[in-house]
Chains A and B, each alone.
Chain A
Amino acid sequence: MAVDITLLFKASVKTVKTRNKAIGIGFDSTKDEIFKRSRPKSGFSPKAKEVITNITKLKDFLLQHRKDYVSAGSLISSDLTRMTDNERDQIDQDAQIFMRTCSEAIKQLRNEAVKQVTSAQVKEHRGAVLDLIEIYLRGVCKLYSEQRAIRVKRMVDKKRLVSEVPNNPVNLWEEGRVEDELSPEEIQMFEQENQRLVSEMNSLVDEVRQIEGKVVEISRLQEIFAEKVLQQETEIDSIHQLVVGATENVKEGNEDIREAIKNNAGFRVWILFFLVMCSFSLLFLDWYDS
């Protein structure tokens, strides 16, 4: 169990102060404090803190209106807390713009940090700070996308209910109008055809709904794949560089080997010539002597 000895520390500070006063060592504490106040106002840290406060504002805003946003009583209740679809769209738009600006700000900060000439530790620290902010932003975006997914699902369900209900009244009304002009068999035929059309429409609507759900899933998978592909892109780039370098090296090596073979051959020719010359000169000297 940890023990808080901050008070003990403060007491020691007082003891040391009184001791120093007794000995006569004084410190100009006030002057230095004024100097300390004038720290740089603009810098990496305040900007990063600003981005965080913005994201927190967005988070609070989303959480505040979450209940209204997701409220289910669109057809039944008539409370004041009910939101119109327009308001919901407005919230969506605002949130998206906000998130985009935040991620832009993070990117900007990252570029600045890279450009600035600072020590390796400070660079690492800033990189890690930006990573933390990004994770925070992603968490808040997840909140938003969850809300939005619920809302989209609700809308799709609503549309399905609404589309099925007016079908029957329309049929009856049409039938009633044409009844005077058509015979009973034709009425029956039309009825049958109507039934068939209705069932066809329903099955189509079912399929469309299923496909919509699957498309949402596919888009999620697509996001994951895109992330992985982007990761692999950098690795493939580096491999490409290495391969290009390797082919160049191999080409140069081939050239060098060719040169060496040529030199070897040329060298051999010279040696042969030299030996032949030597033997001719020997023969000549021998002939000259005798």
Chain B
Amino acid sequence: MAASVREKQTVALKRMLNFNAPPLKNAAAEPVWKVLIYDRFGQDIISPLLSVKELRDMGITLHLLLHSDRDPIPDVPAVYFVMPTEENIDRICQDLRNQLYESYYLNFISAISRSKLEDIASAALAANAVTQVTKVYDQYLNFITLEDDMFTLCHQNKELISYHAINRADIQDTEMEAIMDTVVDSLFCFFVTLGAVPIIRCPRGNAAEMVAVKLDKKLRENLRDARNSLFTGDNMAAGQFSFQRPLFVLVDRNVDMATPLHHTWTYQALIHDVLDLQLNRVVMEEGAGADPSPTGARPKKKIRKTYDLTAADKFWQKHKGSPFPEVAESVQEELDSYRAQEDEVKHLKSIMGLEGEDDGAISMLSDNTAKLTSAVSSLPELLEKKRLIDLHTNVATAVLDHIKSRKLDVYFEYEEKLMSKSTLDKSLLDIISDPDAGTPEDKMRLFLIYYITAQQAPSESDLEQYKTALLDAGCDLSPLNYIKQWKAFTKMAATPANYGNSGVKPMGLFSRVMNSGSQFVMEGVKNLVLKQHNLPVTRILDNLMEMKSNPETDDYRYFDPKMLRGSESSIPRNKNPFQEAIVFVVGGGNYIEYQNLVDYAKFKQGKKVVYGCSELSNAAQFTKQLSQLGQK
């Protein structure tokens, strides 16, 4: 993958916005204006990739939702970017009848069926607008790219393909088929955009296998159809310099249930867990006064602030995956360097003031004007830097408040110890009965992780003790029912997942003293350092990529869509280790796994790993799904 998935998708979007012609390089080209109409799916796809300013630069004057009230704007071409669903098609036909725009460029996010195309054709005929429909395209962009190497399938209706939807007890076959079709359609679009046909490996006997079978069938059909194949032609010529095919690993959420519930310690995962992070956008409430003012005046209103965490934000890119204390230190460093630069500029002002009184200072003038010019030209950069520092200070402070109030560091340390099966210094009961350590949800999560990672189930009396303690703390016990079922099921199937040797080493007092000068007062918050460890998903990937033999992964099925006959054997034909891999989790993923994979890829030089999931859920949402499942 010479270009990352995100770049490929951005390039495809820009082409579409340029009326499906390759964008010109000429800087001073004539502006051509257009209107962009999208539905909610299109909005989710475009918003992490292109900002409003970039849209404006491409000539988009208005961007509107498909199902909003739109006024006729004659003489303007309109670019549509929608999913080919019934309501959308109806609305497009309505637009054609109302003659809202001058010409229509219809782009469908995934392939449109022949019958729906005929619906549009008949509406266009009825409205006499056939000549106005200038171009119709299938874009095959039905996935959301959040990072260079991370994508998810959908955000709008993610309850439809969530873990709960797939693992419900009362699910019908037809519903399951529909869910699988949605997932396979998006994965197919992903591979079309990537321009590569992968080799698929998946475990047996669960949703992942169903997805793999369908995907293999779809890819095979498309490759056989030589006329309309999407994988030939300029697709392959455009920057495809790798001769190896990527490895596509499909795993089901059931292989590792503890990670979504885990309390985390890296910056991006913490924001996703503690604050509201969706599609790279953080929404926070600010400005709430802690104590009400004594004179009984109205309390300060909470302001909701939205922050975008983009690829252009260098601090974010560098520290997405760093442990939180490191982030706090780095923000402090950035703030100091910014203040130093600001002081330089202010110092210049005083120099200019002095020199103004001195008449014969022509020789000094040259130096000063040069300095002034450089200062003025660097001002926009400084302002941008200040904005980013403010952003990260606010976000990090909010996260830190949550950590302190819920004692998340204690939970993190304890869970790491549970997952690595090292000795525990505090008993679980103590933490659960501790009234000011975390919300009931946190305690439930901790207990679920304990239950999942225990070698043998705790005895009945212990369980009752824990249950009463949890009920006292106010937790809801329904997730526990489901986890019991799950554990029983997986015990039959395979050995329980091993979380590898992880270790959490609290940094000594010395370093705490050193950090005490920082603005972020991390007293009482342990400065924990993560040691390198591998989550189950990473280990599975490692085994498959390096062709290692391991009882866990040997039984995985092997699909190669390019082979003439579909073979049922699970013996891989390719004996070389893979250089590129795509990991996809069916049933929900999270940033912790993503960060782990990123670390793994950094550790192994020269391998590229892309992480995908059907939907991104943080621990709270996942616990809610588990409780829904447990209530049935």
Residues of A within 8 A of B (CB): 1-6, 8-9, 12-13, 15-17, 20, 27, 29, 32-33, 36, 39, 43-46, 52, 56, 59, 118-119, 121-122, 124-125, 128-129, 131-133, 135-136, 139-140, 143, 207, 210-211, 214, 217-218, 220-221, 224
Contacts and interface: CB of A to CB of B under 8 A. Distances in A.
Given A4-B137, A8-B136, A218 B369 contact: yes
A52 B31 contact: yes
B59 A132 contact: yes
B71 interface: yes
A180 B295 CA distance: 103
Contacts of A220: 373
Contact of B121 (A13, A118, A121, A122): A13
A195 B100 CA distance: 81
B12 A33 contact: no
Interface stretch (B122-130, B156-164, B613-621): B122-130
Given A1-B230, A2-B20, A217-B369, A16 B122 contact: yes
Interface string B106-124: 0100011010011011101
A5 B30 contact: no
Interface stretch (B72-80, B177-185, B597-605): B72-80
B35 interface: yes
Nearest to B125: A16
A92 to B, nearest CB: 19
A140 B118 contact: no
A1 B139 CA distance: 7
B182 to A, nearest CB: 20
Contacts of B376: 221, 224
Contacts of B195: 1
A32 B268 CA distance: 58
Main secondary structure, interface of A, reads helix
11 contacts: A1-B193, A2-B16, A3-B140, A5-B137, A16-B122, A16-B125, A32-B128, A46-B75, A52-B31, A129-B31, A214-B365
Given A6-B136, A27-B125, 11 more contacts: A1-B192, A2-B20, A5-B117, A13-B125, A20-B122, A118-B71, A129-B61, A136-B30, A211-B365, A217-B369, A224-B376
A23 B605 CA distance: 67
A275 to B, nearest CB: 34
Contacts of A20: 122, 125
Contacts of A2: 12, 15-16, 20, 107, 137-140
Interface residues of B, number: 57
Main secondary structure, interface of B, reads mixed
A12 B118 contact: yes
B65 to A, nearest CB: 12
A43 B27 contact: no
Nearest to B133: A9
A125 B56 CA distance: 11
Contact of B235 (A1, A9, A12, A207): A1
Contacts of A211: 362, 365
Interface in B128-172: 128, 130, 133-140
A6 B135 contact: yes
**Residue among A32, A124, A125 facing the most chain B CB atoms (10 A cut-off):** A125
A4 B74 contact: no
A132 B35 CA distance: 13
B118 A16 contact: yes
B64 interface: yes
B366 interface: yes
**Residue among B33, B120, B373 facing the most chain A CB atoms (10 A cut-off):** B33
Contacts of B27: 139
Interface string B366-382: 10011011001000000
Contact of A45 (B30, B75, B111, B125): B75
B31 A133 contact: yes
B230 A3 contact: yes
B62 A135 contact: no
Given A1-B230, A221-B373, A9 B136 contact: yes
A125 B77 CA distance: 12
Contacts of A129: 31, 33, 61
Given A124-B61, A214-B365, A56 B128 contact: no
A135 B31 contact: yes
Contacts of B373: 217, 220-221
Interface in B9-32: 12, 15-16, 20, 27-28, 30-31
A163 B127 CA distance: 76
Contacts of B71: 118-119, 121-122
Interface in B476-514: none
Contact of A210 (B35, B366, B372): B366
A147 B73 CA distance: 39
A9 B121 contact: yes
Contacts of A13: 121, 124-125, 130
B117 A12 contact: yes
Contacts of A6: 134-137
B27 to A, nearest CB: 7
A86 to B, nearest CB: 28
B125 A5 contact: no
Interface in B58-72: 59, 61-62, 64, 70-71
Nearest to A129: B33
Contact of B73 (A33, A125, A214): A125
B118 A15 contact: yes
B73 A122 contact: yes
Nearest to A36: B128
B31 A136 contact: yes
B73 A121 contact: yes
A13 to B, nearest CB: 4
Nearest to A138: B28
Interface string B77-118: 000000000000000000000000000000100011010011
